[in-house]
Amino acid sequence: MSTLLLQLPPEILLSVLSFLPIKALLCFSLTCHYSLSLASSGLHSLSLGIYTSRTAVDRIENRDPYRVSVSISEARYLDCRTLLSFHTALVDSVLVRYDMALRNLDLTLWNLTIPIANTLACLPALRAISIRIDNFAQLRHMSHRLQASQRHEQREAWQFLAKTAVWAPRLLALRVEGAELSSSQLFTLLRGNQMCRELWLCKCPQVGPDLWNFLSNEWETDHDYLRILGVMRCGGQLGGDALDAIGKLRGLQFLSLKGSCGLDRGIVQERNAQVWRIPELIPPEAPPALVTSLQPGVIEVDPLYLVAED
């Protein structure tokens, strides 16, 4: 490596390194100790996932230059506790190494554990975070007792993260999928935030209809800030309060209610056309159509036969 490059001021080098893909940045970090320290401070965006097979990794879209997919070789020979411990240790070590620089973080986790939550809460530069909980094939066969223990730990981890995250007031985007996150924990995390532009909740059954009251009445933010909102397959049913709350979010440019129930698809579309005028809207799915013809396993009975029996 040319020594002339390393003679540039650190602020210029860090600006250049922030645009490098992960692989290029890691190669740069191997050249010398100074390069290693620069690379550790130059990683601003990271998408990390740990998988139990090469097949699972191949199914993931790898075009993202900031994505790192780790495959555990011969994971099928390891017990669930060993895999979970390794998963927690690896994620925690990566976050600790780059803790001062990370601004955009996308994690695919087997479980949000307390050690991971403790490290996440201390990331000072974080502005956008995405957490997706995904139990892979080898972990789905764990005992019921271990499953219950993992769910309990995840709830405690969310509670800890909601109360202690140093980045919560400055967060610009929050995306959560498949988590044991409750409504109260979400409200605690967001209540002091006045600049969030994206909120994405998917498959979070403990986040209920009280979300809409929080968004419209309790959240102390300028309602023009929130631009992207997704509430999909969460707990409870949509009602009139949801329609009123959406109307108060004047800055929305994208809204997804896919997988939600309680409101007719047509009502949502009509309200958007007449009142909200959100440019991109994904309404709830239409209810399944009634059976209008005979299906396999359905027996047709002549009504006259029933009258004759009477």
Identify the pLDDT of residue 240. 87
Of 12-21, 158-167, 294-303, the one with minimum mean pLDDT is 294-303
Q: Which distant-in-sequence residues (6+ apart) come within 8 Å of 68 by Cβ?
A: 22, 46, 47, 48, 49
Identify the pLDDT of residue 147. 87
Average pLDDT, the chain: 84
Same-domain pairing of 142 and 234: no
Owning domain of residue 250: 175-285
Mean pLDDT (whole number) for 19-29: 75
Identify the pLDDT of residue 304. 58
Identify the pLDDT of residue 160. 98
Same-domain pairing of 143 and 196: no
Identify the pLDDT of residue 24. 77
Same-domain pairing of 158 and 180: no
Residue 302 lies in a domain: no
**What is the Cα–Cα distance from 213 to 243, expressed in whole angstroms?**
11
Distances (CA, A) of 232 to 139, 155, 241, 261, 282: 25, 20, 17, 9, 10
Is the predicted pLDDT of residue 138 greater than 80, yes or no? no
Residue 294 lies in a domain: no
Is the predicted pLDDT of residue 6 greater than 50, yes or no? yes
* Domain final residue pick, 116, 139, 170: 170
Please give the residue that has the higher pLDDT: either 36 or 197.
197
Is the predicted pLDDT of residue 290 greater than 60, yes or no? no
* Domain final residue pick, 129, 154, 170: 170
Q: What's the number of domains the chain is made of? A: 3
Q: Which distant-in-sequence residues (6+ apart) come within 8 Å of 213 by Cβ?
A: 241, 245
Identify the pLDDT of residue 61. 55
Same-domain pairing of 54 and 128: yes
Q: At 286, is the pLDDT very low, low, confident or very high (cuts 50, 70, 90)? A: confident
Tell me which residue of 227, 190, 230, 184 sits closest to 207, measured CA to CA: 184
* Domain final residue pick, 144, 170, 196: 170
**What is the Cα–Cα distance from 193 to 261, expressed in whole angstroms?**
28
Q: At 207, is the pLDDT very low, low, confident or very high (cuts 50, 70, 90)? A: very high
Is the predicted pLDDT of residue 1 greater than 60, yes or no? no
Identify the pLDDT of residue 56. 55
Q: 301: phi > 0 → left, psi -120 to 50 → alpha, else beta; which?
A: beta
Distances (CA, A) of 90 to 77, 83, 102, 252: 19, 11, 16, 37
Identify the pLDDT of residue 217. 83
**What is the Cα–Cα distance from 22 to 30, expressed in whole angstroms?**
13
Question: In terms of C-beta density within 10 A (0-12 exposed, 13-18 middle, 19 or more buried), how is residue 76 classed?
Answer: exposed
